[in-house]
Amino acid sequence: CRQLFCSLSGTSRASRPILKRAHPWDGDTPVKAKQQRRLAGTPSEEASLEPVERLQHSRSAQHEEIKSLLDSDDQNLIGDFSKAHLLPTVEGKDPGLKYISPDTLVAVLTGQWSSFIQSSIIVDCRYPYEYEGGHIKGAVNLPLQWDVEQFLLEQPIVPLDSSRRVIIIFHCEFSAHRGPKMCRFLREKDRSCHEYPQLHYPELYVLKGGYRDFFLQYPAHCEPQDYRPMEHGAFQEELRQFRCQSR
C-alpha cells in the first residue's frame, strides 16, 4: 500500500503544475482568506451591482439639482413654482409672505397691470364695522376664515387665459396680524385641495402697512373716505364678539 501511495503521488506531481503554498508568516490563514474573498466578491457580482449604483447616483444627482434650483431663486416663484411673482415686492414682517406697497396696489387698481392680470381680489380682513367706516374701493370684506373659504374655494376663480393671472391681496388695519394670518390660511387650505404643488391661487400678496397707510396716502381710492380703527370706543361690543368668533 505504501508503494502504491508513493507511486500515485509521484504521478500526480508530474502531471500537475506545482502550486506554491503560502508560508504561515504570510498572514493568510484559511479564515482570513475566506473573509477577503467574501469582501472582494466575484466579477459577476460586481458587474451586477454597477448599474444599480449608477441609477441610484443619477437619481440622487437629479434630486439635488432640483433642490438647488428651488433654493437659488430666492423664493421668487409663485406657489406652484410655474413662474415668478408679477408684482414688485417689499420687505415685510413675515419673510414667508410677499408684501406690496400702497403704490403698487394703486397701479393695480388703475389698470397698469391689466394686460397681465385677469382678476385682482382685495381681501379686507378687518371687522365689518371697520370696513363700513372706510375701505379700499372694490375690496371684499372677509373677516373670518369661513368667509375666505366660502368666497374663494367653494367656486374658485379660474383664469380663462393661461397667460393672465388671478392675484389676491390681503390686508387688515396694519397688516400685522389678521391679514397675514388669513393669507397663510388660504394657502394651507388651497394646498389641501390639490396634489403638491398645484394650487387654485398660487399668487398671494399682503398690503404692507394695511388700510391705515393706504388711506393716509391714497384717500381718493377709499370709500367712504374715512378710517375707523379697530379699537374705536363706540364698537367695543362688536370687537369682543368678532374676537371670540376669530379664535
Q: Looking at the predicted structure, is the pLDDT value of residue 29 above 50?
A: no
Has residue 140 been placed in a domain?
Answer: yes
Residue 11 lies in a domain: no
- Is 244 an annotated catalytic residue? no
Domain-embedded: residue 12: no
According to the model, what pLDDT value does residue 228 have?
Answer: 98
What's the rounded Cα separation, in Å, for the pair 168 and 125?
A: 12
Q: Is residue 41 part of a domain?
A: no
Reported as a single tens digit per residue, the pLDDT across 47-68 is 444 555 555 555 565 545 544 5
> Does the pTM of the predicted model rise above 0.75?
no
Query: Is a pLDDT exceeding 90 seen at residue 35?
Result: no
In whole angstroms, give the CA distance from residue 242 to residue 181: 15
pLDDT of residue 162: 86
Q: Is residue 53 part of a domain?
A: no
Q: Distances in Å between the alpha carbon of 206 and those of 85, 127, 169?
A: 13, 17, 5
Residue 60 in any domain: the answer is no
Helix axes 102-109, 210-217, angle to 10 degrees: 70
Q: Which three cell numbers stand for residue 119?
A: 382678476
The domain total for the chain is: 1
Q: Write down the pLDDT at residue 183.
A: 98
**Could you give the 3-state DSSP secondary structure of residue 227?**
coil
Express each pLDDT in 190-200 by its tens digit.
999 999 999 99
Q: Residue 37 falls within a domain, yes or no?
A: no
Q: How confident is the model at residue 46 (pLDDT cuts 50, 70, 90)?
A: very low
Catalytic residue chosen out of the listed positions 1, 6, 125, 172: 172
Amino acid in position 182? M
Average pLDDT, integer, range 2-30:
42
Residue 163 domain-assigned (yes or no):
yes
CATH classification of the domain holding 216: 3.40.250.10
**Mean of the pLDDT values across residues 118-125?**
97
Q: Which domain holds residue 138?
A: 77-246
**Digit-coded pLDDT (tens) for 140-190:** 999 999 999 999 999 999 998 989 999 999 999 999 999 999 999 999 999
